[in-house]
């Protein structure tokens, strides 16, 4: 059996993260020995009675900045525990995290060290101790904890054995640059809305065509930016030329 995929999160607020990491799929993955998460409180590396981790910015301005001493000490300690792990700061300056990024990160078997920023940001001198930065998108969060949890969740799902169904991670949204097809379960009729007859037909080839057609149509309608980057096969082009009842 392969060793667990290691992730360490450096944060000023470990209590914000611990509950999420211990629940549902992530909790089960750790119980199975497929994922190993460590939470480190950056304050443990701050000196003085009050364990101060922030200070006013040079040059003036609003807010506070995370100090380099405790943060770099925390990073160095994490590197010692996880040699070769990628060290990434959750930051709006980084490239946007995508499913492709998750696939790339899970292939790095030495694991991840995710640094959660706070306040107005971190001292720029910390950047020399990182492998990069990572952003969830063009918006601002109070801190990096939510971003770090998102990264761990997306990456962990790709660790072999974490998902009960081996096909789940392959058929989900964005794996092929497409949105996922609609999903239904029992009852067959809910408040007058029926499950499409094709999904109840038992005809697996027809069901596969319908799901592919729906994924293409949904992506075209709702994410034209993704659709524009698709390289449609001849089979896809034929599907799109048909009406739903012709599938």
Q: Which residues are annotated as a binding site for S-adenosyl-L-methionine?
A: 117, 136-141
User: Which residue positions form the known binding site?
Assistant: 117, 136-141
Cα Rg of the chain (Å, integer): 22
Angle at the Cα of 221 from the Cα atoms of 219 and 225, rounded to 5 degrees: 60
* Residue 159 near residue 106, CB atoms below 8 Å: yes
Q: Compute CA distances 40 → 126, 134, 159, 193, 210, whole Å.
A: 17, 19, 23, 49, 47
* Residue 58 CB coordination number (10 Å): 8
Spatial strand order of the sheet with 132-134 comes to: 35-41, 5-11, 112-116, 86-90, 132-134
* Residue 105 CB coordination number (10 Å): 21
User: For strand 54-55 and strand 65-66, is the pairing parallel, antiparallel, or unpaired?
Assistant: antiparallel
Cβ-proximal residues to 49 (8 Å cutoff; 6+ apart), any chain: none
d(CA 45, CA 174): 39
Query: 133 pairs with which residues across the strands?
Result: 89
User: For strand 132-134 and strand 189-190, is the pairing parallel, antiparallel, or unpaired?
Assistant: unpaired
């Amino acid at each position: 059996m392969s060793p667990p995929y290691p992730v360490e999160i450096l944060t000023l607020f470990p209590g914000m993260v611990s509950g999420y990491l211990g629940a549902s799929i992530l909790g089960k993955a750790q119980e199975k020995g497929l994922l190993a998460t460590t939470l480190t409180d950056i304050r443990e590396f701050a000196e003085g009675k009050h364990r101060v981790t922030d200070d006013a910015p040079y040059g003036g301005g609003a807010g506070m900045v995370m100090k380099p001493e405790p943060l770099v000490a925390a990073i160095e300690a994490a590197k010692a525990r996880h040699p070769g792990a990628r060290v990434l700061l959750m930051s709006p300056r980084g490239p946007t995290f995508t499913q492709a990024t998750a696939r790339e990160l899970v292939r790095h078997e030495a694991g991840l060290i995710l640094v959660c920023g706070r306040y107005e940001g971190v001292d720029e001198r910390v950047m020399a101790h990182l492998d990069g930065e990572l952003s969830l998108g063009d918006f601002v969060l109070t801190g990096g904890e939510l971003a770090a949890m998102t990264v761990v969740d997306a990456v962990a799902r790709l660790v072999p054995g974490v998902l009960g169904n081996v096909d789940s991670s392959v058929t989900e949204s964005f794996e092929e640059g497409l949105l996922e097809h609609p999903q239904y379960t029992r009852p067959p009729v809910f408040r007058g809305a029926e499950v499409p007859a094709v999904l109840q037909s038992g005809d697996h080839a027809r069901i596969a065509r319908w799901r592919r057609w729906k994924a293409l149509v949904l992506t075209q309608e709702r994410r034209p930016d993704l659709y524009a980057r698709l390289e449609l096969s001849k089979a896809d082009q034929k599907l799109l030329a048909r009406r739903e009842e012709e599938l």
